[in-house]
Structure 1
Amino acid sequence: MEKICWENSSYQDCNVVIIGIPDESQSHSLREGTSEAPERIRKISNLADSYNRDGKKSLGFPLNGISKKVFDYGDITRKQIPETFEKIIKDFKVPISIGGDHSLSATIIKQFSKTGKLSLVYFDAHPDFITSIKNYYGSVFGDVIEVIDVKTSMQIGIRTPEKEEMDNLKKFQILVISPFDIAEKGIVKISEQIMSTLGDNVYVSFDMDCIDPSHAPGVSVPVPFGISSVDAILLLKKIANHGIVGMDIVEVCPAYDVKDRTSHLASRMIGEVLSSLK
C-alpha cells in the first residue's frame, strides 16, 4: 500500500499519525466509492505533491514548511477504530484519519471524549444532526451531542439542513457559520469569531462537501454555494495553530472526481494542517 507523501518517521518518533479507514457501510448516498478515498489520496499526494529529481524524491512543502514528524499507520477497519485510537490517544499523538463515510467520525469522537468533552468543529454542507435515526452518515452530530461541549462547538459551511436538523441546531444553540456568513462578514471576522468560541480540547471533522463543488467535485453529496478552498484551508490552519487533538477528512468520492482535483485538495489540506500544528 502506498503511503502518504508526508510520511517520514516511525510510529514511536512521530507527532502525527495518518490513518486510512476505507469504509462506507453507513452511507446512504447515491454516489458510492468513498471507501476508495484513502488509497487515492495517498497516491495523488505522491504524484502531485512530490517531485523526482535525479532519482531522488523531493516534497512540495507548504510555504512555512512542516516541522512535525509524520507516520502513515496504514488502513484499519471500522471495528478497529476504538482500539487503534485508544492507543494513539494514550501515546499523545495527533491522528489525521481519512475516510470513508462521515459516520466513522462518531466512533472516533466518542473515543476522544473519554479524555473530556470536546470542542467539535464540524465542516460540512449538511448539519448531520438527524436524531430520529442513529448511527449513519446523517446522524453524526446527533450521535455525539452528549460528549461535546455545545458552547464551544460549531458547524461551518452548512447550507442544506432538513427541518429536523434546523430544530436541533436551535434547541442546542449550536454556532452555525454558513458560506453566506463568510461572504458577508469576511474571513477575518469569521476567523476571529471561531477563535473566540473554541475550547481547549478541539477535534475537527471535515466533510469535503463543505467546499464548493467547483473546487471539490469528487464528493458523495455535492451542494452548490460552498466555501472556497482557500477560505476553508485558512480556517483549518488557524484552528490547527490553536491546537487540535485530532482530525478526520471524509466523503471524498474518487469515482466522481474530475482529474483527481478533490483528492489532491485533501492531500494539500493535510500538508497545510501539518504545517500549522502547534
Structure 2
Amino acid sequence: MIIGISDESHSHSLRKGTSEAPDRIRKISRTRDVYVENNKESLAYTNSGKAQSKIFDLGNISRENIPLVYERITYDGKVPITIGGDHSLTASIIQGLGNKRGPISLVYFDAHPDFLSSTRNFYGSVVYDCLPYIDPKSSVMIGIRSPELEEIENIQKYGITVFSPADIQYYGFKQVIEDILSKIGKNIYVSFDMDCIDPAFAPGVSVPVPMGLNPITASILLKSITQDGILGMDMMEVCPKFDIQDNTSHLASRMICELLSSVKVKPKLPNF
C-alpha cells in the first residue's frame, strides 16, 4: 500500500521542496514505468524478472493522521510503503507500528545517522526519537558518511551497527548482507533516505553528500534485507526542485518497485 505524506515542517534543510516528492514520484513512475498493451496498464518488470501489479495507492495523508492510518494498516496485514516528505515522519510511523508489533529492527539507509539528542523532533533526531520502539542491538545503519560527533557518541552508546559505503566497497556486499541478516530480527522496518545514494545518481535530495552508494548496490541490499518480510518501508527526502530531469524521483520509484517485487507480507494481527 502506497501512502504519501506531503510534509516537510520538521526539516531544517536549506533545500526546500520535499513536500512535493510524493506527487512527483507518482507522476514520473506513471510516465516512465507504466506500459499499455491491449488497453491494459501494467508496471515495468523489475531486475528480479517480476512485475508488480497489486498495489493500492491510498493517496496523501497529513502528519496528524499517521497514528490512525498506520494502526488500521497494521491490523489489516498490509505493508505500508510511505513516500515523504522530510525524514522526521519516520519517527511517527515507527511509533504507530512499534506499539502493535513490539521492538522493531530498524534498517536505516541514510548519508546521516539522524541520531542527535540535544535537539528533538526534527529530521536530524529521527533515530533517537525512535529509541523507545526499536531494538538498537538488532538495528543497522547503511550508507552513513556524514555523522556529527554527538551522533557518533550515540551510535556507540546504544550499539547500533553502521555500514558506510566504504565498508561495503571494502568487504563486498555479499559479506555485508550476511552481517546484516545475522544482526536484524523479524520485525523489520526499512527507512530509506535517498541521500544514501551518491548524488551523481540522485542529485535531487535535500542534503546531498558525495561518495555514497550506487543504485544497484542499494537495490541488492534492500531486496536481500526485505525478502523474508517487513513491517513497512518509507522513501524520504527526495527534493524535486533540485533534481535533474526527474532522475531522482524515477530512481526512488524504481527502488520501491524492486522491493515490492520480492517482499513478503507479515501476517495479519488478531483482533482482541
TM-score by length of 1: 0.92
Contact 2:43 2:52 in 1 (8 A): no
Which of 163, 178, 182 aligns to 2:164? It is 178
Please, which moves more after superposition, 237-246 or 128-137?
A: 237-246
Counterpart CA distance in 2 for 1:76 and 1:193 is 36
Alignment of 1:12-31 (within 5 A): 17-31=1-15
Letter in 1 for 2:243: D
* Aligned: 1:91 with 2:76: yes
Check conservation: 2:43, 2:51, Cα contact below 8 A.
Answer: no
Partner of 1:60: 44
8 Å Cα contact 2:52-2:257 kept in structure 1? no
2:195 equivalent to 1:209 = yes
Matches within 5 A, 1:85-164: 85-114=70-99, 115-164=101-150
Counterpart residue number, 2:267: none
Q: Which runs of 5+ in 2 are unaligned?
A: 265-272
Deviation at residue 276 of structure 1 after TM alignment: 1.2
Q: Deviations over 1:183-210 (max 9, x none)?
A: 1001110111111111000000000000
Report the Cα distance in structure 2 between the residues aligned to 1:141 and 1:56, rounded to whole angstroms.
43
Conserved 8 A contact 1:34-1:100: yes
Aligned equivalent of 2:258: 272
How far the C-alpha of 1:54 sits from its partner, in A, is 5.9
After TM superposition, give the deviation of residue 135 of structure 1 in Å: 0.3
Residue in structure 1 matched with residue 230 of structure 2 by the alignment? 244
- C-alpha displacement of 1:67: 5.9
Shift of 1:109: 0.3
Compute the displacement of 1:125 (Å): 0.3
SS at match of 2:141: strand
- How far residue 56 of structure 1 moved from its aligned partner, in angstroms, is 4.3
SS at match of 2:192: strand
CA distance in 2, matches of 1:206, 1:246: 11
- The CA distance in 1 between the partners of 2:4 and 2:247, in whole Å, is 19
- The whole-number CA distance in structure 2 between the counterparts of 1:35 and 1:79 is 15
Q: Deviations over 1:34-53 (max 9, x none)?
A: 00000000000011101245
Within a 5 Å distance, the mapping from 1:195-234 to structure 2 comes to: 195-234=181-220
Asked if the contact 1:119–1:200 (Cα under 8 Å) also holds between the matched residues in 2, the reply is: yes
Q: Distance in 2 between matches of 1:266 and 1:67?
A: 15
What is the DSSP-based 3-state SS (H/G/I as helix, E as strand, rest coil) of the residue aligned with 1:70? Answer: coil
Assess if the C-alpha contact under 8 Å between 1:211 and 1:232 holds in 2. Answer: yes
Shift of 1:146: 2.1
| Identity within the alignment, % | 57
Could you tell me which residue of structure 1 aligns to residue 270 of structure 2?
none
Cα offsets for 1:68-102 (capped at 9, x unmatched): 72200000000010100011011111000000000
What amino acid does structure 2 have at the position aligned with 1:159? R
Q: 1:67 to 1:267 in 2, by over 3 A?
A: closer
- The size of the alignment, in residue pairs, is 262
Q: Contact 2:192–2:234 at 8 Å: present in 1 too?
A: yes
Residue ranges of structure 1 left out of the alignment (5+ in a row): 1-16
Q: Distance in 2 between matches of 1:254 and 1:194?
A: 31
1:255: how far off? 0.4
RMSD: 1.2
Cα distance in 2, alignment partners of residues 70 and 119 from structure 1? 25
Q: Residue 50 and residue 69 in structure 1: after superposition, are their counterparts in 2 closer, same or farther (change >3 A)?
A: closer
Specify which of 20, 25, 50 is matched with residue 36 of structure 1.
20
Aligned equivalents of 1:50 and 1:82: distance in 2? 32
Distance change (3 Å), C-alpha of 1:68 and 1:47? closer
Aligned counterpart for 1:50 among listed residues 34, 38, 48: 34
Q: 1:199 to 1:68 in 2, by over 3 A?
A: farther
